[in-house]
Amino acid sequence: MRTISTEKVKIKTSNILLPLRLSLILTLFCGVPSLPVAAQVAAPVPQPPPATQATLTPETLLRMRESVQQVYVDPSIVSYSVALVTGTRAPTTVQLADLDRYVTYGASPRASIALVLGGRALAFLRGRDYVLPHDVRELALDVLRHRIVLSYEALADDVDPDTIIGRVLQAVPMPEVALQDR
């Protein structure tokens, strides 16, 4: 599993600072290597690794970051992101009352920001200057799964965050976005 994070939020308990929660943007499941690959990774390296070469300069990376911020997001896509996130917090808002008992805490409003930002980045990487609803939908599992705290009942019934998110994705219709002016 790989994560992309922003910062650690800390709380002070007595004289000790404890990490409250790592502020993650998304969580990706990458799987595990096969046995031969794992053995190769674990084997000692007989020689120094090959020299690395920079593929981006810091300046190029900053320009790309600025370009991502310029990617157009239709207001209906922002509303879609908010509806998805709200559906994880309050499943009854998307007619999924049967999921209420499984969710202790759903995703916070910061998840909406992550969905929109992730949609912008994905559109940019795909060569578009606009976000499609499908971009947000495609990122939803990775952005939301670590933000949902399940109840003990969910754990007992073998319900995982991906199940909750999948149901919310089915319940919240993707908006139709007219891009004739783009």
Residue 104 belongs to some domain of the structure: yes
Q: What is the CATH number of the domain that holds 79?
A: 1.10.8.80
- Sequence-separated (6 or more) residues with CB below 8 Å from residue 26: 3, 4, 114, 118, 139, 142, 143
Residue 79 belongs to some domain of the structure: yes
Tell me which DSSP letter residue 163 carries.
H
Q: Give kind and range of the element (H or E) at residue 150.
A: strand 149-150
Task: Specify the number of domains making up the chain.
Answer: 1
Domain that holds residue 144: 60-171
Residue 106 belongs to some domain of the structure: yes
Residue 121 belongs to some domain of the structure: yes
Q: State pTM to two decimals.
A: 0.75
pLDDT digits (tens, 9 = 90+) for 40-70: 778 777 778 778 888 888 898 899 899 999 9
pLDDT digits (tens, 9 = 90+) for 114-156: 999 999 999 999 999 999 999 999 999 999 998 899 999 999 9
Residue 178 belongs to some domain of the structure: no
